[in-house]
Amino acid sequence: MAARTPIVVGNWKLHNTIAQGETLVTELKNQLGTIRDVEVGVAPVFTSLSSISKRLGDSKILLGAQDCFYENGGAWTGEVSAPMLVDAGCSFAIVGHSERRANFGDTDSVVARKARAALDGGLSVIVCVGESEQERDSGKTMERVGTQLSATLEVLTSEDLERVVIAYEPVWAIGTGRTATPAQAQEVHAFLRKQMSQRFQGVGAGVRIQYGGSVKPGNAKELMSEADIDGALVGGASLKAGDFGAIVKACSARQS
Ligand code: PEP
């Protein structure tokens, strides 16, 4: 199996005007221009995508959206579809983020439809899974993430997997300053990988699994040293070029 190239993505959430986003990616381009062994992406708000795409120019930094609707067009007020995201310069979309699941009714089946639509529209997709604190405390972590993952695996083929990244994001660690220990994260990542390998035989072993949940420059290297952690989905720390750059470099160091 070929080595899995780490992937680090900044989820900017509902932050940054167009001008602020342009400044941030300009700083990232300057900082990360020489990094070759890590894929790097940013996911700004929809309204900034086209401008940020132009500012990224021929940079290797990937542009993605924080969500992607499951229909391509029609009477769906407020939604944005995969072909429109491609048109705006995106190469990937995040689906199933816990904030979407909790606040916007994105069920496992909606997330699966969104993932399918993103792939059909020509995007790669990051599919987020993660348990709540209550689920962890009651020993239901694997059951919860397993159910979330299998709903999306149902709609995928093994050929799709090259364009799929899984993000394990324990809900209790997102934006809280609490991080899963490397051992806790590794246990879940290994479980998710096994589930993919069982469904898709050898192919699942090559799928990248990011960790997300209060990743910072100070904890990234330790997390990345685990065998099944292949990068990070970063919220708060992705808003500062210095912090995000340091996290990317921590992932790069894993390979050296
Ligand atoms: C996220 O929003 O995906 C995330 C992991 O946020 P934070 O890094 O702020 O915990």
Q: What is the pLDDT of residues 159-201, one digit of tens each?
A: 999 999 999 999 999 999 899 999 999 999 999 999 999 999 8
Predicted local confidence at residue 3, as pLDDT: 84
Cβ–ligand 1 contact at 243 (below 6 Å): no
CA distances from 164 to 79, 102, 203, 214, 217 (A): 22, 23, 12, 22, 25
How much is the mean pLDDT over the chain?
95
Please give the model's pTM, rounded to 2 decimal places. 0.97
Angstrom distance (rounded) from CA 132 to CA 167: 15
List the residue whose alpha carbon is closest to atom 3 of ligand 1: 235
> b/e for 172-211, b at 16 or more Cβ within 10 A?
bbbeeeebbebebbbebbebbbebbeebbeebbbbbbbbb
Looking at residue 72, what DSSP letter applies?
A: S
Residues marked active site are found at 97, 169
User: Which residues make beta-bridge pairs with 23?
Assistant: none
Residue 6 Cβ contacting ligand 1 at under 6 Å? no
Q: What is the pLDDT of residue 256?
A: 37
**Which residue's CA is the nearest one to ligand 1's atom 1?**
235
- Considering the chain, what percentage of its residues have pLDDT values greater than 90? 93
Q: In which element (H, E) is residue 11 found?
A: strand 7-11
Q: Is the pLDDT of residue 99 over 70?
A: yes
Three-class secondary structure of residue 256 per DSSP? coil
Kindly give the distance from the C-alpha atom of residue 174 to the centroid of ligand 1, in angstroms, as a whole number: 5
Are 11 and 175 contacting, i.e. CB atoms less than 8 angstroms apart? no
Q: Ligand 1, closest atom to CA 214?
A: 10
What pLDDT does residue 253 have? 62
Is there an atom of ligand 1 within 6 Å of 11 CB?
A: yes
Ligand 1 centroid–CA 194 distance in Å is 25
129-154 pLDDT per residue, tens:
999 999 999 999 999 999 999 999 99
Q: Rounded to the nearest whole angstrom, what is the distance from the C-alpha of residue 45 to the centroid of ligand 1?
A: 15
Say if ligand 1 is within 6 A of residue 8 CB: no
Question: What is the pLDDT confidence band of residue 255, given thresholds at 50, 70 and 90?
Answer: very low
Average pLDDT over residues 210-225: 96
Task: Please check the confidence at residue 220 and state whether its pLDDT lies above 50.
Answer: yes
Q: Domains in the chain, please, with CATH?
A: 62-239 (3.20.20.70)
Beta-strand pair 164-168/92-95: unpaired
- Give the model confidence (pLDDT) of 25-42 as tens digits: 999 999 998 888 999 999
